[in-house]
Structure 1
Amino acid sequence: RPADPAELLAALTGPAAGTPLATAQGPRTVLLLPADAAGAAPAVLRERGLRGCAITGEGLDRIAVAHRLATCALTTAPEHAHRPGRILTDADAHVLALLAGHPATDAEHIGRLVLGPLARPAQRHLLEALTAYLDTGSATAAARGLRLHPQSLRYRLRRVRELSGRDPRDPWQRLTLDIARTVAGPPPGRDDGPGGGAFRVSSP
């Protein structure tokens, strides 16, 4: 049974919001909210034992795309993508749509959407650290491959979490980061020569 749209809307935006921007569609409740209401969503949904997907990067002219992305995400996301206090985001939804074979935008944009600031040239050292960690599965091995002290590598991974909002130790977020660094292509300003290709660092 879907959550009560009016009750959810009131919890997220206040009782004066009314119900025109909320509706139930089958087992799901669909809300059209101000962008600043998304911050309250994880706590509100957790209190009610609900799962959600917040699409904040699409304009009103692409509301049908946003609805499709959210529906696909909630239908196809694996169980471990839903952790207490977490809702699926645009980045999660775009990755899931890509995996399902019907992306709503190009793969490179999806990669950069997940990586966020990590895709900038100034953060190349962090993307190198992330790539080495994803390739080896070990901070110690990644540090060895990059000729860094393990503590330096761990510090860079903490910065990865801070800037991207994604923890490479978490199984779902690790997968999204791995897909993102593969499809994003090289950071702006980097020339990989003929053939280009995804930005990767191989460990010895």
Structure 2
Amino acid sequence: IGKSIFCAYFLQRFSFEDKEATIITESYSRKSVLKKAAAWKGGEMLGSAVDESTDSSAMKAVIDKAKTERQATHRLIYLIDGPPRIHPGDAQSVVFASPNDAWFSYIRKDWTRPMVVMPLWTMKELEAAAIELDLTMQVDDPPFDEESMGALEDVPVARIADLVEQRFHVFGGVARECLSTDKVFVKEQQDRIQAITTRPLWSGPQ
């Protein structure tokens, strides 16, 4: 799953486990620009604000209000989607980030903030997910065709497994491509890989 989906799951699960905790969620761009902020408690949103170009005061107000109204005896935690410029210094935080050299270099200097890497999916996990989610998956390449690949409930389990295995050998354990229901997206990603792997290596000036 993607980092944003996992962040949302973490929010839901943490809210269930600690209904009195105040949770501040922040979303950052790849260049560490704050795009959205929200405050939560007991699974309910207390307030939110989005980026207004050069004016980030609304997002700051949401964060400050949540921290001010939080009872001192209850927990405060930040869930951050994307790499921030710096860690919040007033509470615990969990950052969900795609590979980012600048961010990894920043946290590498602080032993109190360990980096945990989400493992890739195994083929068996992907096959089980495809069946459990009852996805509609279509492909162009033999031995499957668009007409024969309808809803998964109409497709023998063995053929679902073959389709997932076919994608697994191309994309590895990346669920976004292996479980995608958009055959155009899958083809585009496969073409990108092929273009990169068949690109001539630069041998230097002749």
Question: Which TM-score band (shorter chain)?
Answer: under 0.3
| Rg larger in structure | 2
Structure whose residues are more often helix by fraction: 1
Structure whose residues are more often strand by fraction: 2
Instruction: Please give the TM-score of this superposition, normalised by the length of structure 2.
Output: 0.24
